[in-house]
Amino acid sequence: MEINHVDIKLIALDMDGTLLTNDHQITEATQKAIKEAQQKGVKIVLSTGRSFKNCHNHADALGLDSYLVTVNGSEIWDENREIVKRTVMNPEWIEWMYGLAKQYHTLFWAIDTERTWRNEMPEDLYSVEWLKFGFDIHDDEVRQVIFKELQAKGEFELSNSFPSNIEVNRRGISKASGLEIVCRRLGIEMKNVMAAGDSLNDLEMIKEAGIGVAMGNAQDTLKQNADWITTTNEEDGVAKAIRKWVL
């Protein structure tokens, strides 16, 4: 199908580097475009690596009454902010990755169902439900070594939200898998979705959406796989994409 003739019924937006400016604001132009899309009956879904706690206030501020895909698809929330689906990780895997972070002296973070841990972990790793683990590694060689170790396990979905990090979810879990569930529940097909993002954790949803939009500040892999490239998150890139393809 010619992308000029795609009927967009749902817009999926990554947050950091996409919807949000570098100082975590939503520009006036973007707010206005989102409001106009909503008035047309288009659903707006935040699809983010962040936890529910770290994203729902932005959804509320935008007046969004739709689903949320959080922690790269590990959690899906409905219009009433009730959990629809949650996919947890084995605590043994978390313990192993925490060990890797200590072994290679990397920065890390981990998200459980209650909070985000940064460079520290609870005493009992088996007392909480884990959703995601992330490494922040500025040494390219070390990052490659850890990436290969993670890959060799065959249990994980590996992506990033910034070139220097590695995000680890359970295999088969991605923003795309989360959006597919949302679309099924809303009776929308993926071909009627416009998705926008900037990092590798957005890659699958950009490939599967009817219109995949890469931000001007996106990683090269994303730009190569997108249907269209907009301006950066500092230049109202989301607003421009909504105006071009939806309004």
Query: What residues are annotated to the active site?
Result: 14
User: Position 146: which residue type?
Assistant: I
What is the radius of gyration, based on Cα positions, of the chain?
18
Residue 154 φ/ψ region, left for φ over 0, alpha for ψ in the -120 to 50 degree band, beta for the rest: left
91-94 long-range contacts (CB < 8 A, ≥24 apart) are 91/125, 91/126, 91/130, 93/130, 93/133, 93/153, 93/155, 93/156, 94/125, 94/130, 94/133
Which of these, 225, 158, 160, lies nearest to 196 by C-alpha position? 225
**Strands 10-13 and 43-47: what pairing?**
parallel
State how far the alpha carbon of 187 is from the alpha carbons of 43, 93, 199, 219, in Å: 12, 35, 28, 32
